Structures are given as C-alpha cells and as structure tokens.
Structure 1
Amino acid sequence: MDKPERLLLIDDDETFARVLARALGARGFDVSVAHDAAGAIALLRREHPKHAVLDLKLGADNGLALIPQLLGIAPNLRILLLTGYASIATAVEAIKRGAHDYLAKPVDADAIVRALRDDEGDAEIVTTGNEHAPPLRRLEWEHIQRVLVESEGNISEAARRLGLHRRTLQRKLAKHPVRERGSS
C-alpha cells in the first residue's frame, strides 16, 4: 500500500481548514493544518510535505509573502494558492513568487487535487470513473488565466496570444469564473 502524500494546509479560517483537510484526507493525502505563517513554517520543517495549499489572507500574515519563505525551506514544495479575493495581478504575483497554481474560492477538493497533481504525470489518479470532463466554459476560463499569467497580466499581449480582440478578452474577464458543479 502506498504511503499517503504529505500536504500542508495553511488557512486562518479554522472551519474551512477542518472541512478541507477532511476532504483532502479522503482523497489520499496526509494533511497537517497551520493557521498562520509561524505554524506553517514549524510544520514544514518538522513534517516535510510534498504539497502546500496556502490561503492568500492569513489574518495578520500574507500568503504571498509566505511563498518564498516556504520555498526557501523546501525548494521542491508544490504550492497552490487559494483566495477569495481573486485578481489577475494577484495570480501573476503568486506565480512569480513560486506558487505552482492559483485557485479562487469557493473551490472543491477535487479541483485542488487536480491542481496539485497537474504536470506530475499522475493526474489519472484524480479521476474516479464517474466524474465528467469539466465544462468547455471552465476550460476556456482556465486557459485564459494561464495565458494571462504567461503574459504577466498584460491584457493586450494575452489577447494577441489568444487570437482575440482586447475588448473581447476584457468582456470575458469581467464575467465571474465558471464554477464547477458539485456532485449530487
């Protein structure tokens, strides 16, 4: 039997952290929870997780500022930044500081697992056989966000890379991200 992957969850919302830790545990992770930067650094040094799910707002601490500190201790740590305050500028800054991905809350545990395991070559572990492919609108939104990050937040450059008129891209960005349907 494979040993569960270690994951550090850093979020100051204790209820959200407890629920998400339980959900990620059910998906094969061994989850440790920290509610602030100091606790996160202590757990990282002690438990050596492979992944970290980090909230942007950590009470008095800032998740963006914590990214380089975490990577300084564990350079191979795969960091996913979560935020309820999504913006292109924040996404670009998170990636520049070393986060591997960025998701806006609300987000479900399956989306987090997909983001953590993306580019690792084992994404098929995430699917259970009864899941459906993400809707086309969701894939389009994610592609636009990826191109924006690659363009360092430059709308004109992103529009050129996407083959869209700048105003068309701005209209698409003005819409809220497409939410995935919950399983019912």
Structure 2
Amino acid sequence: MNPRALIDRFTVARASPMTTQTTPPPGRGFVASVRSLYARATDLASWAEPVGLLAMRLLLARVFLNSGLTKWDGLSVSNSAYSQFEVFYGNTGMSFFWIDNLARITAVAEIVLPALLVLGLFGRVGAFGLLTMTFVIQLTVCNPDYNVCLTGWDDWWNVHAWWAAIALYLAVRGPGGISLDRVLGLERSAGAR
C-alpha cells in the first residue's frame, strides 16, 4: 500500500465515530509532525516577507545610491562623472552631446531610483529602472584601456547578475508591506489579490 493511501485510510478512520481505538499506521505520527512543522515554518516566513523585501530594497538601493553620490559635486554633476562616460563611451562613436546627457541622466537616476526603492514609493518603477540600468551597464561598458569589458556572456556572472535578480524580483513582486506604496494603497497586500 502506498503512503498516500495509508494517510487517507487513517484520516477516514479518525473521522468516523467508532467506539474502538484505532492505531495509526507506522510512521504516520512522523509525517504529521513534519507537515505541521513545515506549515508553521511557512506561516512564520510569510510574516517575515515584508522585512525580507525591505532588506532587498535597501541592499539594491545602497549600491546605486553610493554610485550616484560620486557623480555629484554639490548640486551639479561632477566632472569625474562626465569623464567616466567619456572613457567608456568615447570610443563608440557616440557624440559628445549624447555622452554628456547620458552622464546627467544617469547621475539623476542613480539618486532618484534608489530613493524610490528605499521609500517603497512607486517601488516597482524604481526596481525596473535599476534593472534597466544594470542591463545597460552590463551590455555597454567595455574599455580595453582600463581592462574593463563586461559585454561577454562569461562576464555576466559577476555582481551584476545579483543586482538584476534582486531588481527583477522587486519589480515583479512589489516593494512589500513596509512601503509607502502599501500605505497609500498603490499596492494591495498579497492576501487581497
């Protein structure tokens, strides 16, 4: 007799009002204990999900915010930010106009998108923006003079793969319960879906 049939037989035997004492099949107590323990663990994990999503948001935001802060000199984009973009994109044939504007857009995005993610305000937008930036970095940064080239598939399995995985999960799942999106009603709780 297979284990599922034993469990079903035992369940039916327990549910029927019999005057005689039935004994569970061998091993049934262990299976019930494991199921019960696992059910309790999943209940605890569901309570921890908002904290886990907050931790993921803070982790990803920190990386991009730190990078963004290096691109600013007070309230203006620093010369080093422009230089960095000239180094990586200067040999591509892209005009200085586009390199200059790309440096500005990136400097703003690396401050705004992490801030959205930390607050959990339009959290999916922030996560998707950082996912896009991760792909752009991975697919375009290449300068042999500085021994940097991330455009090959073998080079994908660096830290960018982790950033992309976290950003993708947050973009799909949302910022979680500890977020302004939830407070403002922009995101519903998982149980309400």
TM normalised by structure 1 equals 0.27
Larger radius of gyration: 2
Q: Which has the higher strand share?
A: 1
Question: Which of 1 and 2 has higher RCO (CA within 8 Å, sep 6+)?
Answer: 2
TM normalised by structure 2 equals 0.26
Q: Which has the higher helix share?
A: 2
